[in-house]
Structure 1
Amino acid sequence: MEWIAWIVASLFFAVAFLGLIYPVIPSVLFVIGGFLLYGLIDTFSSMGWLFWTIQILFTILLFGADTLANLFGIKRFGGSDAGGWGSTIGLLIGPFVIPVAGILVGPFLGAVIAELVITRSGFKQALRSGIGSLVGFLTSVIVKAAVMIVMIGIFIFFVT
């Protein structure tokens, strides 16, 4: 049964990393889901309170880092809250409208359009906000990928 548990957990981990490209997939929840399904199929005996405490702390870190990195990028480049909301909407819609490039184009255009339409910012300032959204998003993806790799590494350490 252990090999089945590894296959199922690995599939969940793969979906989690796919969530870095398609942000509507809640990456960290799939990582946690992989842990839970492994435990249900094989055993939870090696995943004690220390394991779950560490994983919960990393999960909280991921949720916070995701939100803060995007907002920081936009604010750092002089964008407004409207740019932040536009970027978030673009991040959710972009990958579905433009399958590969939409992950970068969506947040950028969302921030630019929101700055132009809602805050009536000049075009130059709207572009700066769009660039800030890209910087924030890319920072968030890198941080999330690194934290998820650490989480999975800790999982492997505990169960092997």
Structure 2
Amino acid sequence: MLITAWIIVIVLFIVGMIGAVYPIFPGAVAIYAAFFVYGWMVSFEPLGVWFWVIQTTIFIALIVADYAVGALGVKKFGGSRASMIGSTIGLIAGPFVIPVAGLLLGPFLGAVIAELIIGTEFKKSLSVGLGALVGLLSSVAVKLVLQLLMVILFLVWVL
């Protein structure tokens, strides 16, 4: 049972780290779920109240940062609410429409198209698209760091 538990926990950690880059995977949720899998299959005993307080705080920070950092990139480059919505749609749809490259092109094109639809000049729309791309890359970096921190804290706590 112990080996099975660790296999599931490791798979969830891998899915979580992939989710930091590829938005279709559940990212932080998978990592957080791994803690429960460990508790149910091995023991909740080593996971005391402070473990849950710290991990839940990081988990909430991850969710907030995911949206805030991306939106900040668009706003910093002069984007509107429409471009934030467009970049989010592009982030979700991009990988399906253009596999691999769509992950980067989706938010960029979504923001540019949204800005053009509301009447923004082309050059400014491109700048906002660049902001969406910068926001996405910044968000991915923040998620990778925080999710890695969650995994390391778990390992330190239980090993």
Classify the TM-score, shorter chain: over 0.9
Q: How many pairs align? A: 159
How far is 1:29 from its partner?
Answer: 0.5
Corresponding position of 1:128: 127
Corresponding position of 1:158: 157
How far is 1:26 from its partner?
Answer: 2.2
Q: In structure 1, what is the Cα distance between the partners aligned to 2:110 and 2:51?
A: 39
Q: Partner letter of residue 155 of structure 1?
A: F
Q: How does 1:87-102 map to 2 (within 5 A)?
A: 87-102=87-102
How far is 1:96 from its partner?
Answer: 1.2
Q: How does 1:58-77 map to 2 (within 5 A)?
A: 58-77=58-77
Mean Cα deviation higher: 17-26 or 38-47: 17-26
Specify every segment of 5 or more residues in structure 2 that has no aligned partner in the other structure, as ranges: none
Q: In structure 1, what is the Cα distance between the partners aligned to 2:26 and 2:128?
A: 25
8 A contact 2:82–2:111 mirrored in 1: yes
8 A contact 2:83–2:111 mirrored in 1: yes
- 1:134 alignment partner, SS class: helix
Q: In structure 1, what is the Cα distance between the partners aligned to 2:96 and 2:48?
A: 39
Q: How does 1:97-116 map to 2 (within 5 A)?
A: 97-116=97-116
Q: Partner letter of residue 37 of structure 2?
A: L
Following TM superposition, the consecutive aligned residue runs of length 4 or more in structure 1 with deviations greater than 6 angstroms are none
Q: In structure 1, what is the Cα distance between the partners aligned to 2:12 and 2:151?
A: 11
Q: In structure 2, what is the Cα distance between the partners aligned to 1:18 and 1:105?
A: 18
- Identity of aligned pairs, percent? 46
How far is 1:80 from its partner?
Answer: 0.6
How far is 1:98 from its partner?
Answer: 1.3
Corresponding position of 2:141: 142
1:92-148 CA-partner distances (Å, limit 9, x unpaired): 00111111111100000000000001x210000100110000000000000000000
